[in-house]
Amino acid sequence: MRTLIAIPCMDMLHTDFCRSLLSLEIFGEVQYTFAQSSLIYDARNKLCSVAEEGGFDRVLWLDSDMIVPPSMFKRMHEHLDMGKDFITGIYFGRKPPFGPVIYSRCYHTHETHFPTPRAEIFSDYPRDSLFRIEACGFGAVMTSVKLLRAVEDAFGAPLRAAGRLRRRHRVLHAREGARGRAVVRQHDQVRPCGDGGLHRGDLFRLACPNRARGRSVRKERPEMNTEKMLADLKLDLGISSNAFNGRLTSRLETAREWIEAEGCTLTDSEGDKELVVMYAAWLWRSRTTGEGMGRMLRTALNNRVFGEKART
């Protein structure tokens, strides 16, 4: 069993975190990998690439501001051995009401022009037992690499920012029906350390359950000429074979969703289609190169967002 301990971080680590990391009771083949970035979801995507390309079986995700009990590594492995693909420890928010960073329900409201994600804290959870949740923090989580691959195949990238759920919120998409939808276990005590870092808003979701259950209503979107966009994307990437058409089409859809998460209402205009193609091309390249968003794309995206807000 090969396990990657993946730690997204900024430029410094808390000493309390380092002490608890060294105290973990590890076994099997384990590799520690740090990904430094100011965009945490970008750092996590890079760590996903390390896990997939390195032939690992599981990933223990730890935020660099957490204190974890020594037995957590062993206990999480035991629960994943029961056929789960995702498990998290319970920890609590830093600010009132200091609730657990697990959620019993996720949904969207339409109080404004844009759908607003909401989440209800799972406060009355079972003690010392496994139970299912709708969402959780990602500060102390173990996942199978198989789940990460399923997410990437379905959505183009394992992790993405959730847009208007404040910038620090994140979304983990997974294919509907993937084994082990968010299951949590209270692992003794997992707690935050230091003054910054832990955010109850660092929200992750699994399997997009609300879409399947009808809680979230998506507004009608105008159709785009996917065939022409796919041809433009292949030309931009220098791909002539049709072998990648499925994955490239998935990147186009992911790019459109991510752009809309920035606050854009895309139309069938040539400018919007070009923006989606540019974004999809960056998604395709960044999975292998790890490059950040280029200035040209960032400028085009900002102009599109601000231009729409100015008109409304």
- pLDDT, tens digit, 9 for 90 and up, residues 55-101: 999 999 999 888 889 999 999 999 899 888 899 888 887 777 778 88
285 and 192 co-located in one domain: no
180 and 244 co-located in one domain: no
Considering only CA atoms, which of 237, 185, 226 is closest in space to residue 75? 185
120 and 48 co-located in one domain: yes
Strands 58-62 and 2-9: parallel
Considering only CA atoms, which of 146, 149, 125, 145 is closest in space to residue 135? 125
Residue with tokens 């009771």: 25
251 and 157 co-located in one domain: no
- pLDDT, tens digit, 9 for 90 and up, residues 242-271: 888 888 888 888 888 888 877 788 888 888
Considering only CA atoms, which of 253, 269, 260, 270 is closest in space to residue 301? 260
98 and 198 co-located in one domain: yes
Q: What is the mean pLDDT of the chain?
A: 76
Residue 219 lies in a domain: no
184 and 70 co-located in one domain: yes
CA distance 173 to 301: 23
Residue 300 lies in a domain: yes
Residue 138 lies in a domain: yes
Structural domains counted in the chain: 2
247 and 180 co-located in one domain: no
Is the confidence at residue 239, as pLDDT, over 60?
Answer: yes
Mean pLDDT of 36-61: 87
Token pair for 85: 């693909």
Q: Are 211 and 115 in contact (CB under 8 A)?
A: no
44 and 129 co-located in one domain: yes
Token pair for 307: 């231009």
Q: How far is CA 78 from CA 52, 70, 71, 244, 260, in A?
A: 22, 14, 11, 38, 40
Left, alpha or beta for 117 (phi > 0: left; psi -120 to 50: alpha)? beta
Strands 183-184 and 116-121: unpaired
CA distance 230 to 224: 11
Residue 220 lies in a domain: no
174 and 265 co-located in one domain: no
- pLDDT, tens digit, 9 for 90 and up, residues 123-175: 888 877 788 888 888 889 999 999 988 888 777 666 655 443 333 333 333 32
230 and 205 co-located in one domain: no
Strands 2-9 and 29-36: parallel
Residue 221 lies in a domain: no
- Percentages helix, strand, coil for the chain (3-state, rounded to 5) are 35, 20, 45
Task: Point out which residues pair with 6 in neighbouring strands.
Answer: 33, 61
Domain final residue, candidates 178, 213, 248:
213
CATH classification of the domain holding 37? 3.90.550
CA distance 27 to 8: 22
Mean pLDDT of 32-46: 84
Domain final residue, candidates 213, 245, 271:
213
Left, alpha or beta for 180 (phi > 0: left; psi -120 to 50: alpha)? left
Token pair for 310: 């100015």
89 and 207 co-located in one domain: yes
| Number of C-beta neighbours around residue 38 at 10 A | 9
User: Rounded to two decimals, what is the model's pTM?
Assistant: 0.57
Minimum mean pLDDT among 26-35, 206-215, 287-296: which range? Answer: 206-215
202 and 233 co-located in one domain: no
Residue 218 lies in a domain: no
Structural domain that includes position 232 = 226-311
Domain final residue, candidates 159, 191, 213:
213
